[in-house]
Structure 1
Amino acid sequence: MSYHVLIVDDEPPARKLLSDYVSKMANLVLAGVCKNGEEALGFLKENQVDILLLDIRMPLMTGMDLLNELEEKPLTIFVTAYEEYAVKGYELDVIDYLMKPVSFERFTKAIEKATEYLSAQVTTEETSEKPDYFFIKTDTRIVKFLFSEIQAIEAQREYVKFITPSRKVMSLVSLTGIANALPGEFVRIHRSFIINMRHIDEVQANEVLIGKELYPISRNYREDFFRKLDGMKLL
């Protein structure tokens, strides 16, 4: 299977290097190359892209600004010379973060991570019967969860915490990747939180109470949350 890649970087040498790397990988197709965020925004409105190779510091519109403008975001790999943006990148749920100058070996690992995720998405969509459980890899173990037992999922820098009534488990995964694989009773209420609506005890103004924990509802996710909540009301 081939994956379409868009490169967005204001530096010509970086665009050339990434284009060369893409051409060396049989499963990648170079969909386009843009020199700034505004150009990329226009391109993405007209073209389907699977993987976005995105610089952060650019004139007119930064890479982060671009992602915030997009309703449907391609799977994104940040490519930048500035290490201080790593944490912010994970908050935006990018799949990987590459430091310039990028070696081909490190580029390959990032692409493999992205294509494995995209392939898993396709497999999940094609499966008619979905199991009621899933497995998460931690640093030392592989842990099984029932979807029904998960109360909330919290992003903590580059890690994600899975919260149940009896345990909390950390895993090095993307919150966006997890969100796309969850069944319908889960809803994102904040860039750092996904909750299971089956476990809600109360909704208090801009917070959700589950057990003894309060989870914030952010402005960006408020409308979607309350729309789902309205659909579950009896009266």
Structure 2
Amino acid sequence: MTYQILIVDDEPPARKLLSDYVSKVGNLELAGVCANGEEALRFLKENPVDILLLDIRMPLMTGMDLLNELKDKPLTIFVTAYEEYAVKGYELDVIDYLMKPVSFERFKKAIDKAIEYLSVQVQTGETTEKPDYFFIKTDTRIVKFLFSEVQAIEAQREYIKIITPTRKVMSLVSLTSIANALPSEFIRIHRSFIINMRHIDEVQSNEVLIGKDLYPVSRNYREDFFKRLDKMRI
């Protein structure tokens, strides 16, 4: 099967490089190349595509603005020189996040992931399911997490700490920003803590035990938390 792909980037060298990469992948067909979001919006209204290679910071209309304007979004891969959009990318259902300058090997890995996802959609008939994972930027890396593995998220000044049974990862992201991207099993129980309800072992008065850690339930969040908890009791 051949997949239609659109490149949107305001930098001519980037458009040329990505076009060359597309030509090297046998099951990709370049549907078009656009220099900004407004041009891409007009193109996509007339020419639906399977995969969108999208820059973020562009004049006239940013990549974020373009995705917000689209009702039926293609599977999107961000291609950008700016690292701070990883969490926002998840909120917009972006499948991958490439940092410029992009190597062909990294480009191919992202395309393979997108095609695998599209193939599953065709086989199952699913077109609206969100990914079960997200990416978060650390000081030197962009790290993948499954939502199901995250036990809790703790705010530490301008940073957050993502806690799983096997690792704790710090990122320069606000707790409110990541809260907006989390699925329904997560709930805020304190101005400094979000927990995953699936990982709760015990509730002790106004504290939640997850593994060996206790998390406080503050007065402002207590009512919502216990309402959610009551719905899960049998």
Pick the TM interval, shorter chain.
0.5 to 0.7
Q: Residue in 2 aligned with 1:211?
A: 229
Identity %: 71
Aligned match of 1:174: none
Shift in CA distance, 154/96, structure 1 to aligned 2, threshold 3 Å: closer
**How far 1:107 moved relative to its partner?**
0.3
- Aligned residue pair count: 159
- Which one of 192, 196, 201 corresponds to residue 182 of structure 2? 192
Deviation digits for residues 152-209 of structure 1 (CA, Å, limit 9, x no counterpart)? x89685534249xxxxx89xxxxxxxxxxxxxxxxxxx653257xxxxxxxxxxx895
Q: How does 1:155-174 map to 2 (within 5 A)?
A: 157=136, 158-162=144-148
Q: Deviations over 1:61-112 (max 9, x none)?
A: 1000111111111000000011122222223221000011100000000000
* Superposed CA RMSD: 3.4
* Contact kept in structure 2, 1:154 and 1:194, CA below 8 Å: no
2:49 maps to a residue whose letter is: V
Cα distance in 2 for partners of 1:97, 1:154 equals 13
Mapped contact 2:53–2:78 kept (Cα < 8 A): yes
Q: Which residue of 2 aligns with 1:106?
A: 106
Report the structure number with the largest CA radius of gyration.
Answer: 2
Contact conserved, 2:87 with 2:134, CA < 8 A, in 1?
A: no
What is the TM-score when the length of structure 1 is the normalising length?
0.59
Q: 1:31-80: CA deviations, max 9, x gaps?
A: 01000000001111111100000000000110001111111110000000
For the Cα contact (< 8 Å) 1:78–1:96, is it kept in 2?
yes
Find the counterpart in structure 2 of residue 146 from structure 1: none
**What's 2:35 paired with?**
35
Gaps of 5+ in 1: 127-135, 137-152, 164-168, 171-189, 196-206, 214-235
Name the CA shift for 1:154/1:31 in 2 (closer, same or farther; >3 Å). Answer: closer
CA distance in 2 between counterparts of 1:22 and 1:3 reads: 11
* Residue matched to 2:26: 26
Structure 2's unaligned 5+ residue stretches are 137-143, 150-163, 166-179, 186-223
Does the 8 Å CA contact 1:8/1:54 hold for their aligned counterparts? Answer: yes
Residue by residue over 1:90-140, the C-alpha shift from the partner in whole angstroms, topping out at 9 and shown as x without a partner, is 2322100001110000000000000000001111129xxxxxxxxx9xxxx
In 2 relative to 1, CA 102–211 (structure 1 residues): closer, same or farther, beyond 3 Å?
same
Residue of structure 2 in register with 1:125 after alignment: 125
